[in-house]
Amino acid sequence: MKWLIPLSILVLFELVADILAKSWSLKGSWILATGALIAYLLGSTFWLFALKNGSGLAKGAIIFSIVSAILAVALGIFFYKEDLTKLQYIGIAVGIFSLVLIFWE
């Protein structure tokens, strides 16, 4: 399970990159865009370490995708005041349930 550390760092960099990318979309500063690209690149570097340490492509990719999506949705809702439909909330719940199933052993 030592692959969870680089996978968590990947998610953190993805979150930072998402914040910078959203800020760039609102303000248009190329510094923000450059920061987002650098954060995405650094995050991808930790993906390599997660794979090397045993995350597995299938399991690791699903965990990364769902966790980063849930965090991005939380950012959108709480910091950028974006709205979701009831069906989208159900989709988030299904994503969380899928994480439970992935870690169930």
**What is the structure's pLDDT at 55?**
93
CA 96/CA 102 separation, integer angstroms: 10
CB 13 within 8 A of CB 56: no
Among residues of the chain, what percentage have pLDDT more than 90? 96
Give the torsion sign (CA, 15, 34, 44, 66): positive
Residue extents of the structural domains in the chain: 4-103
Helices first, then strands: H and E counts in the chain: 4, 0
Taking the whole predicted model, whether its pTM rises above 0.75 is answered as yes
**What is the structure's pLDDT at 43?**
96
Nearest to 36 by CA among 6, 15, 64: 15
The per-residue pLDDT for range 40-56, each reduced to its tens digit, is: 999 999 999 999 999 99
Per-residue pLDDT of the chain (105 residues; tens, 9 = 90+): 899 999 999 999 999 999 999 999 999 999 999 999 999 999 999 999 999 999 999 999 999 999 999 999 999 999 999 999 999 999 999 999 999 999 887
